[in-house]
Each structure stands twice: as C-alpha cells, then as structure tokens.
Structure 1
C-alpha cells in the first residue's frame, strides 16, 4: 500500500530535519498554518491559477525550498486547502425522513466554501480523498444516504457524482464571474441579449427559438438546487 500524504509529509520532515533558513527580512516563522493562510489569500485575490509554490514562497518572503519542509508538494498543499474548507462543513445527524434535505444542505455548504476562493474546486478534481477533514464530509454524506434507505453501492457512487457536480458548478461560476469582471469588449452577454439571440436564430432551430425563455431562465442558485434535487430523486 502506498504511503498516505501524512506519512509522506512525515518522511519528508525526517529527511530534511529542520527547515532551511528563511530569507533575510522575514521575522515570522514558516508553519503549515502560515502556508495555508497565505495560499488562501492568494487564491482569494488572484484566483486558483495564480497559486504556485514559487508564488507562495514569494508571498511568504522565503524560498520555495523552505516550503517543502512543511508540505510535500503542490498536490499536498491542495489537499490541505480542501481539507480546511471541508472542516467548516456542519454535518447533521442522519434522519431517514429528511435525508434529501440534509444531503442538499451539505452540498450547498460545500458550494459556498468553494465560491469563497475563485477556482479552488480545481484542487479537488481527480483527487482521491485522503485528508481526514475531507473524509469526514464523505463519511457524513454516506451516513445520511444510508439512513434514507439508499443502497450502499448507489450511495457510494452518488457521493462521487454529487461532489463532482459541486466542483464543476463552482468552477463554472468562478470562471463566469472572472470573465464578467475582466471583459471590456462586450463579449459577455446577459440573459436578455441571449434570449434575443436565440429568438433570432434561423428556423432550423425551432425548439431553441420557441423555448428561449426557458433555456435562459433561473438564477445560478435555481439551477444548482434543481440539479441536486434531480440527482437525489433518482437514487431510490
């Protein structure tokens, strides 16, 4: 069995011993907590794409090698960040009559955590959950689904699908917000203009022309709620 990130981090500490000295001028010690806090600040201000080990080291006024005394690599940092966000998720006591509402609530909390830091859900994509805080959320979701009578295999795959949707949804919202904030050439259009474009399509698009209002209706929240409910209603 391959070592866990925690074991790899511990092994890394054993190889390095003490952390390399920070650059002159830095007075605060470099800790895992300082690394996580600074990384969140970078993502909040500049987006997840800006977060690199070199950019993080610069913000901490040290060299990249100093960071590796505390985190194994960028992937390890990603797990720490997602774990920190998951630690804030409140998990309800599973209730067989309220399981849909409870799961929807957990998904909404996760969405809101990701939206605080533009694009950070990328860090959770294609990553096997190993952080205990991340596993706590999946454990809680599994308990809720099982309490609702969802078969174990269905529940296991449902968690994967739900979390994947939350990741994709928040990533799309982050990209859309960034495009709106930085577009100065009219490329980004609103609902009214989009509806007009659909209505003006040639007759070879009869359904799109006819249902232009429906295709563009609803807020981001409406669409998120609809999709989560649609997924949950199909589990049984």
Structure 2
C-alpha cells in the first residue's frame, strides 16, 4: 500500500502552467464531473486525462497522484457551501445557514461521503471551519466546549447527508420507485411489530421528510448549544 504524504497536495507548491488550456481549476472541474457521473471507483488518472483531452504526462505535471485529485475535488465541493453574509439572526441563524449549505453540497455530490475520512486541509474547508468556530466562539463558547459543539454539528451534517444519499442510491440501484420501496419496508416492519413496535409505528428512514427531519434535528443541537452558553442563550 502506498503511504499517503502528510498534508498531501496542500503542502506542495502548485506547479507553473505548462500549456494555457490546462490548469488545476480545469482539472478539478472535470474530476468533479467524473466523480458525479461514476463515483470514486470510476475516477482514474487515465479516465480523467481522456476527458480533458490530454495525456497522462501533462496531467501528472499538475497533480502528482489520484489522492491529490480527490483532495482537490472534495475541497471544491466544500467551496459550493456559501458563507452567510452579515449578522442578521445571530449565531443560530448563521450556523443553521452554513450547515444547510454544507448538507446541500454533499447531497449534490454523494461521493463526498466516502472521502470524509481524509485529512481536510483545503482552503475552502478551512475557511468554512474557521467561520463555524468563529461564530460559536463569538456566541460565548471556548476550549473543549467549542470543539465539542463544532464537531457535533459537523458530524450531524455528515451523518444525515450520508444516510439520505444511501437511501436514495439504494432505490436507484434496485430500480424500485420510492413508493414501492417505502411500502415494502413499511410492510416488513409491520409484520414484525411485536418485536419492533416503535419502528413499526414510526415508519422507516426512506419514508422520512428528509428536509424537515434535518431542520428539526439541527434545531435540537442548537438548543443544546444555546443552553451551554453563558446566560443560557
């Protein structure tokens, strides 16, 4: 197994452009498009070079490894999460807006879920992470409380987006319509209601209003953070 270089692409200087049409930005945009179409398994340096209409040698001049491409593509997706403007609504509104943007970006690019165990050191990731921490710090959190709150929010967004994307991809891969899959799973739970009474009565994740559930769950987290602030606000 090839050992990943600590920091990877983010700690190496970008090489100068050798030919005008080929830039890192163009490579990343094409990589994101390929990942959207074929997933992480479908991304190879050869396939990417073909889509760019160039040779592997030219591609390797700009990006050293496939890991570089994945790191750059993941950071580009994070860049789609728009940072809230102004201070309207206070820390809760700004945090809620950023979390919603992050979730939306992940759902547009479901392959990102498979890469979130990688070191996240790109400028877009760091800018949004800094914004979240700064927002919570201005609200009154510090030290381990700040870290725990930021991690809790991040993990909630990642987990909810991963689950929603997984349910959606399962329906697509089986060729079943959403209604058919929902009915089959609901029937499965009802038949086992004695063993799983709450689940049978509640339904199953695929039948959930994902947007409403996300907003409600995020609200619970924000309520908990608010209770931990000085003055409980």
**Global fold match (TM > 0.5):** yes
CA distance in 1, matches of 2:10, 2:198: 54
Q: CA deviation at 1:30?
A: 2.3
Determine which of 153, 159, 183 is the counterpart of 1:162. Answer: 153
In 2 relative to 1, CA 90–199 (structure 1 residues): closer, same or farther, beyond 3 Å? Answer: same
CA distance in 1, matches of 2:106, 2:196: 37
Q: Distance in 1 between matches of 2:147 and 2:88?
A: 17
1:228 Cα shift? Answer: 1.9
Q: What is the match of residue 63 of structure 1?
A: 55
Find the counterpart in structure 2 of residue 128 from structure 1. 119
Structure 2 gap ranges (5+): 1-5, 229-233
| 1:145-184 alignment runs, 5 A limit | 145-184=136-175
Q: CA 1:18 to 1:192, structure 2 compared with 1: closer, same or farther past 3 Å?
A: closer
CA distance in 1, matches of 2:224, 2:55: 51
What is the 5 A alignment of 1:31-110?
31-92=23-84, 95=87, 98-110=90-102
Please state which structure has a larger fraction of its residues in helix.
2
Deviation at 1:213, TM superposition (A): 4.2
**1:229 partnered with 2:219:** yes
What is the CA RMSD across the aligned residues, in angstroms?
3.2
The structural deviation recorded for 1:5 is 3.0
CA deviation map 1:125-183 (0-9, x unaligned): 12333212211101110111112222332222332332233233323333332322231
In 2, Cα distance between the equivalents of 1:65 and 1:7?
22
Instruction: For 1:204 and 1:233, locate their aligned partners in 2 and report how far apart those are by CA, in whole Å.
Output: 33
Aligned residues: 221
CA drift of 1:36 comes to 0.9
CA contact (8 A) 2:81 2:101 kept: yes
**Structure 2 counterpart SS, 1:114:** helix
Give me the TM-score of the superposition, normalised by structure 1: 0.76
Aligned-pair distance for 1:89?
2.9
Unaligned runs of 5+ in 1: 22-27
TM-score if structure 2 supplies the norm length? Answer: 0.77
Query: Which deviates the most, 164-173 or 186-195?
Result: 186-195
* Aligned residue number for residue 128 of structure 2: 137
